[in-house]
Amino acid sequence: MKVVRRFGPGHRILVTGGAGFVPSHLVEALLARGCTVVAVDNFVTGSKENVAHLADTSTFTLVEADISDGLPGHHPAFAERFDAILHMASPASPTDFEKLPVEILRVGSVATLHLLDRAVADGARFLLASTSEAYGDPLEHPQRETYWGNVNPIGVRSVYDESKRFAEAATMAYHRSRGADVAIVRIFNTYGPRMRPDDGRAIPTFIAQALRGEPITVHGTGDQTRSICYVDDLVRGILLLLDSTETGPVNCGTEHEMSMRRLAESIVSLCGSPSEVTYVTRAADDPKMRRPDLTRARELLDFEPEITPEEGLHRTIAYFRERLG
Ligand code: NAD
Ligand code: UDP
């Protein structure tokens, strides 16, 4: 394992998209380690509420800005150098792909270049949140990092897939040509508290429907698969990569692969809901199957997901139950 340092007290970390679902958990973990954290967010899909409990933490600053317009250099939090920059900002739900296509393209491209420039200037480690969507509708299963993917470059999902693929290319170009210290994590389907009940992704949608007693809307036949990862496992994997000298890309997620039909049935049962599972139209280019090959994460980072789907879903349902009353 090549964990060579530990970001902690005395380190200043910039987290883009820090008020979002995954990034807010990452912010908490970095603060718990003693890091000073600056989160920047324009709240396009995230919410101040996700980090409201950190408002009195002296080592935490939340800056409102759209990083696709450049870094908010006027803000005092940006006057000092950063030791690490975690580029987590991007709308990530398939419903966002239709609502925010240009915003997604800009945050993966223009914003990534701004952040890489800053990382080089500061001598900071730069970590890019990439995605399993980089593999598109994969023809290799499970997906290894060596697989180049099967992406429709002009389809509705392309704004997200190609934006992340561009961000990966930019990250590697800055590494090779400008000496940037970089890491790329390819994140597989992650879920947990702070997802939005209306964000359109399968897990929050199914849970909200089950808790409201509404029909569960499985797309197509529900035979398509995903491998679901509880957010705490993902955050642990990201921090292992951050602390290492690895460039990646490294897959992060779990091997808990299941069909969307089974996922829907499990959620109905865990919620004790009377909801019926129904079948509706499936979106174009929706990947048929997805499971990470975790060999690289295990070998390079000693990463092992720990939380079972039952436990993770149980915790997530508890969060939604409280939120939805
Ligand atoms: P999220 O939408 O909850 O978080 C993204 C955050 O980025 C939001 O708070 C949003 O307001 C912010 N943001 C977006 N554009 C911005 C901009 N231009 N300037 C400033 N802030 C901006 O989504 P998430 O699921 O937590 O995803 C976080 C990251 O992880 C994303 O980069 C996503 O692509 C990646 N990812 C997530 C998953 C997953 O399953 N959750 C899977 C693969 C990759
Ligand atoms: N899905 C579904 N019903 C919904 C939302 C999603 O059946 O209400 C399906 C979707 O078609 C996809 C899978 O669940 O096959 C995972 O979708 P999600 O948006 O959660 O993640 P992604 O497609 O980005 O992997």
Q: What's the predicted TM-score (pTM) here?
A: 0.98
Is the Cβ atom of 42 under 6 angstroms away from ligand 1? yes
pLDDT on residue 5:
86
Q: Where are the beta strands (DSSP E) in 164-294?
A: 181-187, 190-191, 216-219, 225-227, 229-230, 250-252, 257-259, 277-280
pLDDT on residue 283:
87
Is the Cβ atom of 68 under 6 angstroms away from ligand 1? yes
Give buried/exposed letters for 158-181 (b at 16+ CB in 10 A, else e). Answer: bbbbbbbbebbebbbebbeeeebb
Residue written as token pair 């809307």: 217
Helix (H) or strand (E) holding 266: helix 260-271
* Amino acid identity for residue 73 in this structure: G
CATH class of 12-188+231-255+285-306: alpha beta
Give the SS3 label for residue 13. Answer: strand
Q: What share of the chain in percent tops pLDDT 90?
A: 96
Give the SS3 label for residue 141. Answer: coil
Q: Is 286 within 8 Å of 219 (Cβ atoms)?
A: yes
Query: Atom 4, ligand 1: which residue's CA is nearest?
Result: 20
Is the Cβ atom of 229 under 6 angstroms away from ligand 1? no
Catalytic machinery residues = 160
What are the pLDDT digits (tens) for 39-63? 999 999 999 999 999 999 999 999 9
The alpha carbon of 107 and the centre of ligand 1 are apart by a number of angstroms equal to 10
Residue written as token pair 């990382």: 119
Mutate to test the pocket of ligand 1, among 45, 112, 143 (most ligand atoms within 8 A of CB): 45
pLDDT on residue 73:
87
Q: What share of the chain in percent tops pLDDT 70?
A: 99
